Structures are given as structure tokens and as C-alpha cells.
Structure 1
């Protein structure tokens, strides 16, 4: 595919993806802020979000949506989940036929609980929808450090073409047809990153952080597969890889918010002083709702949401989690025990998991 690329959203990651695409194809960056547009066009920079980093000299920016997308052969959406639908609706009337639309957003729409590709399918149903996701910290990539990512599309031909558009010498892109798993991995890890930040803010050590990350990955796997994603996807770059980077890096917005919560601050005041969005703050409630709907136990996510809403402190949430009843770690071990005890009731995956967790909660160890 010989593509003209339009990236919608001039934040740190949208700008970085536009910079990467500009190595391979003519690329335009759409921004709301005229000052950012001027900085990109005149100085090859985005000082608001990426101060000190130089962008590709051929990258151009505009505030005109029609100008940005009317001749595009690939459209990349890099806006927060809260604004995604409105911006997509603004872009949709100007999209050329059949142009693929790729989301960079790692969140869920509040109210509808939809993933971003589902919003794309609603607003622009004739356009293939996908996601670019993985352990990608914008400033590290612009600094020239090697990184990997995943482009997830249902159509492997489209995914392979987009792979070539976005790959550079130091940015390696894999393909995956599990859009649900990739999209949920990017969303769920933000909630676990809040928990990782909280334990850092509480002054805990590496043992505690490792426990949060590992058990958090188990939660991601439970909900991700219950909603139609694959376990191998959630164990890969879009799941575990992204989780590690977001939980450990001081550049992570979600980890930063969690750390401040661990120090006793309120979520609203931390978010208010940030220039970019920490998606996990908004996703935590939706994740808890989805977990209940699918009969999935997610204790870390539930406690994160309680802290974000101000119902608990981070210290209280930690006490609750450490006081939970002990049980076997492998999910298969719990399911196997249940099948031995009640084989006649193991009729479906959903009911089996719900009954296993009910049994585990009341059974002494």
C-alpha cells in the first residue's frame, strides 16, 4: 500500500506515530492547537508535549480536518477516549472510501463501554478498523531507543500493509488478528499501572510491585478472554509487554497518578494538574462493570476503582488485597478442583468460572 497518512491528535503519542510514519510516507498531523501546528511546521517540534525532541522534517501539521484526511490512505486516531467519538464524527464525512482507521487510544468509552474500534465501526462502518498498541513510551522512541508494537486488524492483508507504513529501523511492528485482545490489553494494563504506582507511593518494594504486576496480568487474562480475546495475545506485547512498561516507567501517566494516590492525594486534584490523560482513571469503573457482567473476579481493579472514587485510601486497599483468602495460583487448578467436585455443573465456560470463584471464596484452605 502506497499511503498518505493522516494522524489525528497532537499529543505525545500521536505526534510520535506521525513522526514514525513520516519516515515512510507523506504524513500530516491534525491538531486542535494552532501553536502546536506552527511549531511542527516551522520548527519540527512539539514543545507542549515533547519538548527537546526533533520531529521528522517532512512531517506537516494542520488544524483543518478536511485538509488532513481528504486525501489520506491511512487515518490514525490518537485522541483520548472521552473525545474519540466526537473527533471521529468530525473526520468521518471527509474520509475517502475504504480507508483503514487505526486507533492509538487505550481506553473504553464511558457509558457505552465500547472499545475504540467499535466506535469506529459505528461512526464509519465502511472502513476497516484496527489498533496500534504495545509497550511504547513516546520520548524513548524519539530518543532513538528500539521499541516494538502490534498492529491489530481483522484483515491480515491490511495489517501487513500498515505494518510497512509504520515500521522504521528502530521501531518494529508485528501483526495480530486479535483486535479484541490487543485493544483490551492496552486498556486493562492502565488500571493495573495505577495499582503499581500506588504501591510505589506507599513505599513498598520490588516484591510488592512484582506481585501487583503478575496478579494484575492474571486479571487482564481473565476478563480479556471472557470478552473474546486470546490468552496468547494478552501474554504478548499488547498485554504483558505494555503492562510492564506502564507499571515500571516514570514516564507512565497512569503509574504517576497511582503513585500520587499512594501518597494520599485525591484523584481529581492529580488529574487536574496533568496536561495529558491517564486513561486508567476513567477506565477503572468501566472495567469493574465489565468484570461483573462477565462473572470475572478482578480484586486489584476493584480496589483501584475504590481508591480513584475516594472510597478507600491506597493503604486500605492494600490491606484488603493482602487479607484475601489464600487459594491455588493457577486458574486451571481451581477449575480442575471444581470439575472433580461438581462435574454435572461444569456446563459452560462462563458458569464454570463463576461457580469456581464462588466456591473458592467460601472454601477453607
Structure 2
């Protein structure tokens, strides 16, 4: 079975490298392929070169030739790119590799895929991973979630490599929300550290943020155990503890009152907005997510946001 990766950013490039290093023929799609073709490396992932087994194209019709299509594009761009693919992609396995909640529909990536390409088979690949680690062949374990377990088993075998280990799940909702919400909590933790509040405060934010993740996910039908796995707690720990995380770095910039590079995609910003709207819609109180939404849109200062959280009523854990 052939593989296509949609997205020439750091993560898409890393996935293409990883798949090709294990012997698979991979087609990598990107809007601008001139630099990729001439240098065989992405500007987003310097020093990581594309193997010869990776072909490069800027034509979306080439994507439809693959059986497994990895969609490594920003969450808010997913519906746009899928709409631009003229093929129905009937029977194709479309694996979302983005983390977030769509602002228009307040749904996760697999529902977006289902709505736009209803004849395809949606899945999601998510969990604790940095593109640089994957490209270097460093050990990485992720969750592959698909409602059709037989398809999940097939994809697990096709996409796993000796250093890129996939664990299978049918809890698509939980896997999606774990990957989306951990970005929001990472922004909060970054702001906390950037403000100089210390690691104890970061640990408290991670713990209470995790509680919010579980609350929303289970309310929407996820299995509680999913949040304690790679796509939940695993991804949360990595993203909240490392400056390799764009979301954590964005939070740091807020805490330090520094400008952040506007060209860098920070999925947690739009996710915070979508989740705040979703939580209100379903009647859930998610103060950390709401605080991050207000912080990232400059509705409140870090000082005001922290005071608001610390002044909440004391209660049983």
C-alpha cells in the first residue's frame, strides 16, 4: 500500500522521512516544492534530509493515488485542503496528524474528514512527539485511533517502524481531545513559567488542566482510560515540559511580555477559543481553557488571569 503525506512542514517532513527510512515509498505534498526539490530538506526541519524513496509534488491530485494519506497540516486548514482535493477518496484511509478543534464546526479532525470526504475512512495519529526526534529516528510512541479496528490494525502495521511505535485505539474522540487540549494547557504552563511562578505552579496547572481534559472528553463520550495514555497524559507531559513545544514557547512569551513570531503556527490558540465555545455550549466549567483563550487574545493580563484562578472557591479535588 502506498503512502502520501500532505504538508511540507516539520511534522509532515519528519513523517515522510520516517516512513521512507523503513523502506516505504512515500509521496510528500507541499504548496511550494522548489526548495524541497532542490535541497531535499524542509526549511522547517533543517538538517533532516528526505530519502530517495520520497517523491515530492505540489499537485493535490497526486495525493489521491495513495491508499493511506497522512494529513500533516494545521487543524484550521484541514477543511480547506480536503475541499481542494477533487477526488472523493473513496475507500482511502485518511489519517489526521493535526491537533485541535475546528472553529467552524467545533469538531475534531476525523469529523471534518467525515463531513467533507464521507466515502473515505478517517483515523487520527496523535501523541507525544517532536518532529526533530522522529526525523532522527529516536524512539517515539504514538496513538493511532480509528473507529474501524480492522482498518486500525492494518494502518498500525503499515505505518509503524522500528523506532516509530504505534498503539491502536478505537476511542477517536478521546485521542482527538487529548491532542487538542494539551496544547491549551501547555500555553498556560508556559505563561506560568514565563511569569516566574516556579515548577510547583506548573505542576498544579498541568494537574488541573488534565482534570479539564478528562471532564470534556468523558462528557463527549471518550473512555476515561484514553486520557491516561499517550494521546492524553503522555502528550501533556511532553508539551508542558519542553521549549521544543511551540505552544509552551508561546505561553512563555506571554508570561515574559515578549513578542512571538507570528509566522509560527500555535494550534492551542484557536483550540482555546473553540473549546471555550464548546464548553459553554455543553454547560461545562473549564476555567484554565477560558483563561488561555482570554490571555492569547489579550483580553486579560497574566496577572489578572492568575488572580482569577487563585481566587476561585476552595473545593474538594
TM-score (normalizing by structure 1)? 0.83
Per-residue CA deviations over 1:236-255 (Å, capped at 9, x if unaligned) read 10011111111111110100
1:303 — aligned with what? 291
Between the aligned partners of 1:57 and 1:250, the Cα distance in structure 2 is 32
Between the aligned partners of 1:112 and 1:196, the Cα distance in structure 2 is 27
1:18 — aligned with what? 16
Between the aligned partners of 1:311 and 1:123, the Cα distance in structure 2 is 34
- How far is the alpha carbon of 1:37 from its aligned partner? 3.2
1:262–1:315 Cα contact (<8 Å) kept: no
Q: How does 1:105-116 map to 2 (within 5 A)?
A: 105-116=98-109
Q: Please identify which structure carries the higher helix content.
A: 1
Return the match for 2:271 from 267, 283, 289.
283
1:154–1:178 Cα contact (<8 Å) kept: yes
1:186 — aligned with what? 179
- How far is the alpha carbon of 1:95 from its aligned partner? 5.3
1:10–1:36 Cα contact (<8 Å) kept: no
- How far is the alpha carbon of 1:173 from its aligned partner? 0.5
2:206–2:240 Cα contact (<8 Å) kept: yes
Return the match for 2:47 from 52, 55, 76.
52
**Runs of 4 or more consecutive aligned structure 1 residues displaced over 6 Å after TM superposition:** none
2:15–2:134 Cα contact (<8 Å) kept: no
SS state at 1:50 partner: coil
2:239 — aligned with what? 246
Return the structure number with greater relative CO, CA threshold 8 A, min gap 6: 2
- How far is the alpha carbon of 1:24 from its aligned partner? 4.1
1:21–1:165 Cα contact (<8 Å) kept: no
2:18–2:134 Cα contact (<8 Å) kept: no
2:89–2:120 Cα contact (<8 Å) kept: no
1:214 — aligned with what? 207
1:312 — aligned with what? 300
1:321 — aligned with what? 309
SS state at 1:151 partner: strand
1:8 — aligned with what? 6
Structure 2, unmatched stretches of 5+, are none
Alignment partner of 1:38 is 2:37: yes
Between the aligned partners of 2:93 and 2:51, the Cα distance in structure 1 is 23
The structure that has the greater radius of gyration is 1
2:17–2:49 Cα contact (<8 Å) kept: no
SS state at 2:265 partner: coil
Report how many residues are paired: 316
1:44–1:55 Cα contact (<8 Å) kept: yes
- How far is the alpha carbon of 1:57 from its aligned partner? 3.0
- How far is the alpha carbon of 1:274 from its aligned partner? 4.1
Per-residue CA deviations over 1:284-324 (Å, capped at 9, x if unaligned) read 11111111122222111111111112121112211211121
Per-residue CA deviations over 1:230-289 (Å, capped at 9, x if unaligned) read 111111100111111111111101001111011124xxx52xx24431111111111111
Task: Provide the aligned C-alpha RMSD in A.
Answer: 1.4
1:9–1:79 Cα contact (<8 Å) kept: yes
